[in-house]
Structure 1
Amino acid sequence: MEIILLERIPRLGQMGDVVKVKDGFARNYLLPQGKALRASEANRKKYEAQRVELEARNLERKNEAEQVSEKLDGMSFSIIRSAAETGQLYGSVSARDIVEVLANEGFKIGRNQVDLNQPIKAIGITNVDIALHPEVTATISLNVARSPEEAERQARGETLDSAEAIYGEGINESARPEAFFDPNAEFDEDSEEQTAPSQGGGETA
């Protein structure tokens, strides 16, 4: 289908361009969202008549988006989720979750503005682009962690995807069998338990 773009669409064209797209993309997204018109002769004339108004409206929206971007770009947000010691989440963080986090901080963003190809499924820090306008993008940092304390550690550069990283390298030392075995202890065959070595070394009278 040939359409006239009413705003810049990434990887497609600029405002006023006439481009060919798949019918489904046009019918399900571009036309209902008011981002394009069918490229009929009547619509071409309609666009030309409204071009100045459309360009002015686009410039206004762009200026507003730039103001939001100045505040939002580079900000870091923490999201607390349950996860295994390997870092895999029991669930995921989706665009909807990101919209909610931003809303709690006063930023009204739509799900379709969150550039997240697939949900986040592991703890860690992920950069996510927010399309505030076809020509304005802000990048935020999402710190997904098991707790606020772990979020702070990740922010300092730690990678918490193993028991050793979470609890310290000594965590496995105490779990080794030799850690509970005293080679100098005597073995009581009747009780099958270790006993402390005798201090005197000789027989009693």
Structure 2
Amino acid sequence: MKLILTNEVTGLGSAGDVVEVKDGYGRNFLLPRGLATPWSRGGQKQVDALRKAREARVIASLEDAKGVKGQLEARTLTITAHASDAGRLFGAISQAEVAEAAKAEGVTIDRRTVEFPTPIKSTGEHTALVRLHPEVSATVKINVVAG
């Protein structure tokens, strides 16, 4: 099945890429979640629009990405969430919450670039990966406190 990715999918490609995937993966995972649209001849215009939008969001140069990486890795982001007495969260920390915490620290990142190795569902110290550039990724320390 040939699809156009509308969002970045780890291990597959980024927004605007035309990919060939197995029918079940496309039909049962990518399409229902809005991560891709079916490819068509007219879809090429959509691909071009997605690429322009992605280029506007992407950190332009490798040097800028390395600078943002240094800023992120030097800080510990603190996120307040509702939790039980045992430290278990009522829900999980989202990528948007990490992006907001980084913005509060003075570093602007796109929420779509944040990845969690495992979902954050408890208070304490955690880490997340932020893909700033195809060649640069930053490991961010996150401190989740009950609030």
TM-score (norm 1): 0.45
Separation of aligned partners in 1, 2:114 and 2:91:
19
Which position in structure 1 is the counterpart of 2:106? 106
25, 41, 51: which one pairs with 1:34?
51
Cα offsets for 1:24-83 (capped at 9, x unmatched): 66648x935318xxxxxxxxxxxxxxxxxx9xxx99522211121122124211112231
Cα pair distance change 1:59/1:126, threshold 3 Å: closer
- Which residue number in structure 1 is paired with residue 20 of structure 2? 21
Q: Residues 26, 135 of structure 1: CA spacing in aligned structure 2 closer, same or farther, 3 A cutoff? A: farther
Q: Could you report, residue by residue, the CA deviation over 1:160-196 in whole angstroms, capped at 9, with x for unpaired residues?
A: xxxxxxxxxxxxxxxxxxxxxxxxxxxxxxxxxxxxx
TM-fit CA distance, 1:133: 0.9
Maintained 8 Å contact 1:74/1:139: no
- In the TM superposition, what whole-angstrom CA distance separates every residue of 1:132-175 from its partner, at most 9, and x where no partner exists? 1111101111111126xxxxxxxxxxxxxxxxxxxxxxxxxxxx
Q: Give how far 1:91 is off.
A: 3.2
CA distance in 1, matches of 2:59, 2:113: 18
1:92 offset after TM fit, Å?
A: 2.6
Query: How many Å apart are 1:10 and its aligned residue?
Result: 6.3
Count of aligned residue pairs for this structure pair = 116
Give the secondary structure class of the aligned counterpart of 1:33. helix
In 1, the alpha carbon distance for the partners of 2:101 and 2:3 equals 38
Q: Classify the secondary structure of the residue corresponding to 1:137.
A: strand
Q: Percent identity?
A: 29
Q: Residue 12 of structure 1 contacts residue 19 of structure 1 at CA under 8 Å; is this kept in 2?
A: no
Q: What is the aligned partner in structure 1 of residue 73 from structure 2?
A: 73
Q: SS state of the match for residue 100, structure 1? A: helix
Aligned partners of 1:124 and 1:145 also within 8 Å: yes
Alignment map for 1:41-52 (pairs within 5 Å): none
Match of 2:121 in 1: 121
Kept in 2: contact 1:95–1:119 (CA 8 A): no
Question: Any conservation in 1 of the 2:81–2:89 contact (CA below 8 Å)?
Answer: yes
RMSD (CA atoms) = 3.5
What's the secondary structure of 1:86's corresponding residue?
coil
The Cα shift of 1:93 comes to 1.5
Alignment of 1:87-166 (within 5 A): 87-116=87-116, 119-146=119-146
> Larger C-alpha radius of gyration, 1 or 2?
1
- Give the match for residue 42 of structure 2: none
Q: Partners in 2 of 1:116 and 1:91 — Cα distance?
A: 15
